[in-house]
Amino acid sequence: MQIKLFTIPVGDSGTEQEMNTFLKAHKVLEIEQKLISNDNGAAWCFCVRYLEQAVHVASESRAKVDYRQVLDEPTFQKFSHLREIRKKVAATEGLSAFIVFTDEELAELAKLEEITIKSMLGIKGIGEKKVERFAHYFIENQKTDEAPGAVA
């Protein structure tokens, strides 16, 4: 974790722009702010805690994947069904679909024989917070859609 301090005199937009540029380029963990006033005037003081991040590494490795070619037909059908669920969840939650689960995560879910919390946590990119927030949509839906022939 890194720390960067900004002091922006009230009415100074130049330093404000510098801070905004910095914030856009870093993964911010926390910002503390305080208004300081003395005989010389007033200024906002910001303490920004952030993580260094490699910005271009991910974009190089992400090529568009055609899941119809990558997955076998039954798995692709399950993947398509999971995408529909994701679309409804995203609309309900007011989020972009990729925030719920990425296509890569959905493809891995589609490959599972049964979607459970434990199996979801085994997929790269799906952690406890995503499971806590979204798993019930996918687990409940699977139970109602695939109940015939299900083995406990």
| Shared domain check, 16 and 79 | no
Residue 152 has pLDDT above 60, yes or no: no
CA distances from 87 to 42, 102, 110, 112, 138 (A): 48, 11, 15, 20, 12
| Dihedral (Cα; 13, 16, 18, 21), 10-degree rounding | -120
pLDDT at 142: 60
Rounded Cα gap, residues 4 and 98, in angstroms: 31
| Shared domain check, 72 and 38 | no
| Shared domain check, 43 and 85 | no
Q: What percent of the chain has pLDDT over 90?
A: 45
In a domain, 72, yes or no: yes
| Shared domain check, 88 and 42 | no
Confidence of residue 150 (pLDDT cuts 50, 70, 90): very low
The pLDDT tens digits for 22-38 are 888 888 889 999 999 98
The pLDDT tens digits for 67-124 are 888 899 999 999 999 999 999 999 988 888 989 999 999 999 999 988 999 999 999 9
Rounded Cα gap, residues 106 and 104, in angstroms: 5
Q: How many domains does the chain contain in total?
A: 2
Q: Which domain holds residue 19?
A: 2-51
| Shared domain check, 139 and 70 | yes
- Read off the CATH number of the domain in which 74 is found: 1.10.150.80
User: Which residues, 6 or more positions from 100, have their beta carbon under 8 angstroms from its beta carbon?
Assistant: 86, 89, 90, 93, 130, 134
| Shared domain check, 119 and 44 | no
In a domain, 57, yes or no: no
Side chain identity, residue 80: S
| Shared domain check, 104 and 136 | yes
| Shared domain check, 93 and 44 | no
pLDDT at 151: 44
pLDDT at 13: 66
The rounded mean pLDDT for the chain is 83
Rounded Cα gap, residues 6 and 48, in angstroms: 8
Mean predicted confidence (pLDDT) in 39-51: 88
| Shared domain check, 115 and 71 | yes
In a domain, 98, yes or no: yes
In a domain, 115, yes or no: yes
Residue 127 has pLDDT above 50, yes or no: yes
| Shared domain check, 99 and 130 | yes
| Shared domain check, 45 and 67 | no
